[in-house]
Homo-oligomer: A and B are copies of this chain.
Amino acid sequence: MVGYAFMGAAHSQGWRTAGRVFDLPLSPELAVICGRDADAVRAAAGRYGWAETETDWRALVERDDVDLVDICTPGDSHAEIALAALAAGKHVLCEKPLANTVEEAEAMARAAEAAAAHGRLAMVGFNYRRVPATALARRMVGEGRIGRLRHVRVAYLQDWLVDPEFPLTWRLRREQAGSGSLGDLGAHIVDLAQYLAGERLAGVSAITETFVRERPLPSAPSSGLAAVSTAGTGQVTVDDAALFTGRFTSGALASFEATRYATGRKNALRIELNGERGSLAFDLERLNELEYHDGTEPGTHAGFRRILVTEPDHPYLEGWWPPGHGLGYEHTFVHQARDLVHAVAEGRGPEPSFADGLQVQRVLAAVEESAEKNSVYTPIAA
Measuring CB to CB, which residues of chain A are less than 8 angstroms from any residue of chain B?
6, 10, 12-13, 16-17, 20, 47-49, 136, 140, 146, 150-151, 153, 155, 157-160, 162, 164, 205-207, 209, 211, 241, 243-247, 251, 253, 255, 257, 259, 261-268, 272, 274-279, 284-288, 292-295, 299-308, 310-311, 313-314, 321-331, 370, 374-377
Tally of this chain's copies:
4
Q: How far is the CB of A319 from chain B (nearest CB, A)?
A: 9
Inter-chain contacts of A324 with B (CB < 8 A): 158, 265-268, 284-285
Nearest B residue to A325, CB-CB: B329
Inter-chain contacts of A209 with B (CB < 8 A): 251, 253
Given A287-B326, A303-B308, A305-B305, answer yes or no on A245-B243 (Cβ-Cβ < 8 Å).
yes
Is there contact, CB below 8 Å, between B243 and A6? no
Is there contact, CB below 8 Å, between A329 and B330? no
Is there contact, CB below 8 Å, between A261 and B321? no
Give complex CA distance A327, B325 in Å: 11
Inter-chain contacts of A17 with B (CB < 8 A): 13, 17
Is there contact, CB below 8 Å, between A303 and B314? no
Is there contact, CB below 8 Å, between B251 and A263? no
Is there contact, CB below 8 Å, between B255 and A255? yes
Given A307-B301, A321-B329, answer yes or no on A253-B278 (Cβ-Cβ < 8 Å).
no
Inter-chain contacts of A261 with B (CB < 8 A): 150-151, 274
Give complex CA distance A302, B162 in Å: 15
